[in-house]
Amino acid sequence: MAGRRFAWVWVATIATARVASGCGGDGSGSGGATAGGTAGAGAAGATAGGGGATGGTGAAGGTGATGGTGAVGGTGAAGGTGAAGGGGTGGAACVPVTESCNGADDDCDGAIDNGDPGGGAACPTGQLGVCAEGLTACVAGALTCVPTALATPETCNLLDDDCNGAVDDSIAAEPCDTGLAGVCAAGETECQSGILACVGLAGPSAEVCNLLDDDCNGAVDDAIASASCDTGLPGVCAAGTTSCLEGATACVQQVLPGPELCNGLDDSCDGNIDEGVVLTGVCGPAGPPGTCQPCKVCLNGTVQCGPQPPACPPGMPCICPPCGGIP
């Protein structure tokens, strides 16, 4: 009996020692793992660093003597510090797409609305005249219709150059030469169906005395009909005919003063008619013996025989008038 009790005690002692030794080793290993996990935490960043390596399990303690406590297992090495995570980006990564007119860099090339996206298409500007047609252009992030022509001063070309809604209006007239003669030469420019024409300011008319070529035939003051006129002088010098002289109508005397004749006219233009007319010769039949023949006289503008001279005194020579009467 005593031998059996000893064997049981020995077995129990060995079991107890193993249990004590195993618990010490497990406790040491767990402690190493805990320490390793704590030391392995990465530095805070946009992305957390990887954890440190887990500490190794401590070696099991050797078997102690009967009834003794096993040696405590060694502490596992602490895990290394994890590297810090890389810094995070400000937002989502740029995904390039076709550039459009929206004030953004759609194709991720660093330029906004480059290449005039949506531009170059024909469009109406809503303006008038040559300003009505335009092309689209990307301006400040929006498509705008830009006129292909700007307003300019109006010219004669069948277009509304100044974009006011009227074609070929307000074109100032300029002096021009029609190429015609006389008064028909002067003209002013006029826009006609998109072409500047020289329009005469005056047309041909009947010629008058004014130093101008009124009938536009190349001759000045020609073919002007004359008319009778009064010169204002006496006698035969009063009669005149109109004539154009240096652009003014004058009454030109047709008869110049001359010797007085027996004609009932004032030939000498002195205001007296038939005065001082000297007639020679006798007229009429011979008178009685001892008498002179009558002399020619001017009477009422005609030559007539004058009165019969008186008889010559008896015994006296007969003295006849100076007309040459013969006794």
Q: What b/e sequence results for 235-245 when a residue is b if at least 16 CB atoms lie within 10 Å of its CB, and e otherwise?
A: bbbbebebebe
pLDDT digits (tens, 9 = 90+) for 250-308: 999 999 999 999 999 999 999 999 998 888 777 877 667 767 778 888 999 999 988 87
Does 296 map to a domain?
Answer: yes
Out of 152, 175, 194, a domain closes at 152
Q: The whole model's pTM is what?
A: 0.48
Range of the domain at 307: 278-327
Query: Is residue 105 assigned to a domain?
Result: yes
- Specify if 125 maps to a domain: yes
Q: Look at residue 50 and tell me if it is in a domain.
A: no
Which of 84-88, 189-193, 253-257 has the lowest average pLDDT? 84-88
Q: For the chain, how many structural domains are there in total?
A: 2
Query: Quick check: 247 pLDDT over 50?
Result: yes
Domain membership flag for residue 123? yes
Q: Are 257 and 290 in contact (CB under 8 A)?
A: no
Among all chains, which residue has been given the structure tokens 């070696």?
59
Ranges 53-57, 120-124, 321-325: which has the least confidence:
53-57
**Least confident residue range of 57-71, 103-117, 241-255:** 57-71
297 inside domain: yes
Q: Taking a C-beta distance cutoff of 8 angstroms, is the pair 62, 71 a contact?
A: yes
Residue 81 in any domain: the answer is no
- 292 vs 177, residue with greater confidence: 177
Q: In 3D, which of 20, 31, 121, 107 has the Cα closest to residue 64?
A: 20
Asked which of 152, 168, 193 is the last residue of a domain, the reply is 152
Give domain status of residue 110, yes or no: yes
Q: Are 171 and 157 in contact (CB under 8 A)?
A: no
Q: What is the pLDDT of residue 241?
A: 97
End residue of a domain, out of 152, 175, 192: 152
The 10s digit of each residue's pLDDT in 155-175 is: 999 999 999 999 999 999 999
Q: How far apart are alpha carbons 265 and 44 in whole angstroms?
A: 150
